[in-house]
Every structure is written in C-alpha cells, then in structure tokens.
Structure 1
Amino acid sequence: MTDAVRLETLYKTYDDTGTAVTALDGVTASFGAGTFTAVMGPSGSGKSTLLQCAAGLDRPTAGRVFLAGTELHAGKDTAMTKFRRTRVGFVFQDYNLLPALTVEQNVLLPSRLAGRRADHARARAVLDRLGLLDRRDDLPERLSGGQRQRVAIARALIGDPAVVFADEPTGALDLRSAREVLSLLRTVVHEHGRTVVMVTHDPVAAAYADSVLFLADGRLAGALSAPTAEAVAERLAHLGDLVGAGAEAVA
C-alpha cells in the first residue's frame, strides 16, 4: 500500500521559556493512502504537534516528513505553502469559516488563495454531495454547528487533496452532528479514496477510523486496527504501560 504520509524519526522541541519541552520524541509512522487513522493520547502527548508537523504547519526539530511522496520542509517556506495548498486539506474544531463569506465563497477560498480560477461547478458538486447545495448562498451564522463543519469538509476537499488532516473535528458538536461528520469523513475515505488523519480524544469518534495510533509523552505507545470504542478506551487507560513499546507503521 502506498503511503500518503510518512514520518521518519520525528522530533519536536519547544524552548520558548528557557526550559526545553519535547513534544515529539523520535516518532516514526506511516499512514496508507485511502485510510482513516485516528491519533489519540492524553493532553500533552504530542498528538496535535504530530498533526501540525505532518501537515506542514510546523517544522520538526529533526526528522523527515513525506507527504504524497514529497519531502516537506526540504525547500523554502513559500514552496511548502504552495504545495500544502494544493495537496493538503484541513478541518478544525472551530470550523475556521470567514463570517462575511457565503458557504460557496468559503469553500472556494483555498482556490483563490492558491491563485487558481474559482471552479464554481466543482464547489457546487462537492456541496451537493455533502447535502449543502441549497445553503450555498447562506452566511455561516445561519448554519448549525454540524452544517458548518460540513462546509469546512467541503472546503478541505475542493482542491482534491492527497490527505485531509482533522484536529478534533467533532469537539464542538452535539452527538448527532458528531456522528454525521464522522460518517462523512469515513465516506470521504472509503468511497472517494482520500486519506484522513484525525486527532481526537473521544473513543467513540476513534471507532469510526480504520486504525488508531496512540501517543504518550511524545512517543509512540501502540496501534489498534479495526477499533471499537470499548477497545480504544481500554487502551487509553493503560497508555503508561505501552510507552516505549513503540508501534508498527499504520496502514
């Protein structure tokens, strides 16, 4: 299976206050093309840092990141930004929609930022697929939380990305909306061949993924295939015992 993302001996250290803090401590992992992976761990485990480095939003202190076969961070920042805009999609907990733009304008924003012609036909096709075509002229304030997150997913998909990175995408949603969004992410993977890497703290959300990668203290602490909410919760409860055991590459 082709790797959509590969991390090789990734380290990330912060030293903003004069005291070094290691967020990632030699992480090596891979995420296969067309798979849905949840990344989990306690607060401070390094999961959000892993996502940011894997997506090219932050530079690792050491190690290498490959996305769709291209090494990130190897070139200039401007080249990396351009590559990220064309090959990576993002979904965040707080949606990150611009309130003054309509649904369709928000979806088309990545194309405009990348200097590409706005493809209204494609935007409307994606919105139609996500059940939002009739809301394309609405402002975000008129949408529910679940609908806003679906707009964010449409925006992530508009550029035909190799990978969609999702950071706690259901954290601000009620249970019903969360299930709808998670089912949609699974559809994006299994019916449309995208790769999704999702950071979450919720075992129920993780159970929608094909596999789960666990982190603790910035190190790999195991992996779980075909997860259930119960199995994920059990593994989380024993993460301390798994630190240092490592994890096989996630496929």
Structure 2
Amino acid sequence: MTEAVRLDAVSKVYGKGQGAVAALREVSAVIPRGSFIAVMGPSGSGKSTFLHCAAGLDVPSSGSVRLGGTELTGMGETELTELRRQRVGFVFQAFNLVAALDVVENVTLPLRLSGARVPRGRLEDILRRVGLEGRAGHRPAQLSGGQQQRVAIARALITGPEVVFGDEPTGALDTMTARDVLRLLREVVDGLGQTVVMVTHDPLAASYADTVLFLADGRIVDSMSGPTAEKVAERMTRLGAWT
C-alpha cells in the first residue's frame, strides 16, 4: 500500500526563547493511502498542529512532510495554497459554508475558485453518495447541522483529493447525527478508496477509523488498530494520567 502522507521527525515550536512552546516533538508517522486514521490526545497534546503540518496548513520548525511523492518542506505559501486546493480536502467542526450559496454552489466552490470545470457526473455521484440529491438547490439555513456537514464533506471530495483532513468534524453535532457523518466518512474510505485523517476527542468517532494515533506532549505515544470506543476511552484515560 502506498503512502498518502509521511511525516519524518517533525517538530513545531511556537515562539522564541523563554516563551517557546513545542507543540510537536520529532513526530514520525506514515498514513497509508486508502486508510482512515484518527488522531487523539488530551488538550494541548499537539493534535491540531499534527493535522496542520500534515496538510500543509502550517510549516514545521524541523523535519519533513511528504504528500504522496511531494516534499512540502521548503515550499512557499503560494505553492502550498495551490497544493492544498488541488490535492487536499478539509472538513472542519464549523461547516464553513457560504450562506448565500446553495448546496451545488457550495460544493463546487473549490473548483470555481481555481477556474476548473465542474464535472457534472462527478458532482451528481458525490451528492448521491452523501445523501443530498434532493437538496441541491437548498441554502445552508434550510439544512440541518448534519446535512450542512454532508455539504462540507461533498465540497472536500469534489476535487478528487489525495487526502481529506477532518478537524473535529462531528464536534458540533448531536450523537445520532455524528454517527451518520462518521458512517459517511467510513463509506468514503471503503467505497471511493479515499484517505481520511481525522482529529477527534470522541472515542466513538475514533472507533470508525482503521487506526488511532495517540499524542501526548507533542509526541505519538501509542497507536491502536481495529479500535473500539471502549478500548479508545480506556487508553485516553491512561493518557490523561500521563500529561
């Protein structure tokens, strides 16, 4: 299985001198293509920094990040912006939809911003997969929270990205709606061969992943394959005692 993302000895330090804070400390990880990876850890463990460095949203202080065969280290902001637009999808806790645009316009926004053609077949397929065929002309205010997050997932998928990064994508949803969204992310991996990397604090959300990476104090301290909510919760309890 080929690598979607590779981090080698990645460190990220914010600030200088006495006020310097190390958010990541020599983190190395390989995200296999076509896998669903959850990233967990206590508050301040470096989860979001891990995601931002892996996705090219933030530049490591040292170490190297590769997306597919592309080395991100040393890229300028313009190059990174182009790379993120073409090769990476994002789903955040806040849905980040444009209120004045309908579902189709929100989903196709990344393509239109880059001047790319909107492939009708792909658009229809994605709307069907995320369960929004009958909502194409609706604006965000006419949709439930779960439907809005489905629009955000469809928008992340429309460019055919190599990796979809989710930052607490179910954090603003009730439990039942969160399960629907997690099932959809699982389906995207199994049905489309998509790679998903998701930061979460929720053991139930992590149980939908193939592998969970546990961070503490800026380091990967453990990993778990075939996770269950119970096993993840137990591991997180121990992590809390270590920090």
TM class, shorter-length: over 0.9
Is 1:45–1:217's contact at 8 Å kept on the other side of the alignment? yes
Which amino acid in the other structure matches residue 166 of structure 1? G
Counterpart Cα distance in 2 of 1:49 and 1:35: 20
Identity between Structure 1 and Structure 2 (%):
59
Is 1:56–1:72's contact at 8 Å kept on the other side of the alignment? yes
Q: The residue matched to 1:66 in structure 2 has which SS?
A: strand
Q: The residue matched to 2:59 in structure 1 has which SS?
A: coil
Is 1:222–1:242's contact at 8 Å kept on the other side of the alignment? no
Give the aligned partner of residue 155 of structure 1.
Answer: 155
How many residues align structurally? 243
Q: Evaluate the alpha carbon distance shift between residue 191 and residue 94 of structure 1 in structure 2; reply closer, same or farther with a 3 A threshold.
A: same
Q: Gapped runs of 5+ residues in structure 1? A: 244-251
Report the aligned-residue RMSD.
1.6
Counterpart Cα distance in 2 of 1:123 and 1:240: 43
Give the aligned partner of residue 85 of structure 2.
Answer: 85
Q: Evaluate the alpha carbon distance shift between residue 106 and residue 233 of structure 1 in structure 2; reply closer, same or farther with a 3 A threshold.
A: same
Which amino acid in the other structure matches residue 211 of structure 1? T
Q: The residue matched to 1:222 in structure 2 has which SS?
A: strand
1:104 aligns with 2:104: yes
Which amino acid in the other structure matches residue 231 of structure 1? K
1:25 aligns with 2:25: yes
| Structure-to-structure mapping, 1:100-179, within 5 angstroms | 100-179=100-179
1:72 aligns with 2:72: yes
Give the aligned partner of residue 223 of structure 2.
Answer: 223
Give the aligned partner of residue 9 of structure 1.
Answer: 9
Is 1:221–1:242's contact at 8 Å kept on the other side of the alignment? no
- Which region of structure 1 is more displaced relative to structure 2, 14-23 or 227-236? 14-23
Which amino acid in the other structure matches residue 67 of structure 1? L
Q: Gapped runs of 5+ residues in structure 2? A: none
1:171 offset after TM fit, Å? Answer: 0.4
Give the aligned partner of residue 238 of structure 1.
Answer: 238
Is 2:42–2:240's contact at 8 Å kept on the other side of the alignment? no
1:134 offset after TM fit, Å? Answer: 1.2
Q: 1:88-127, CA deviations, whole angstroms, 9 ceiling, x for partnerless residues?
A: 0000001111111111000001111222123344222211
1:220 offset after TM fit, Å? Answer: 1.0
Give the aligned partner of residue 210 of structure 1.
Answer: 210
Is 1:73–1:80's contact at 8 Å kept on the other side of the alignment? no
Counterpart Cα distance in 2 of 1:241 and 1:211: 22
Give the aligned partner of residue 48 of structure 2.
Answer: 48
1:240 offset after TM fit, Å? Answer: 6.0
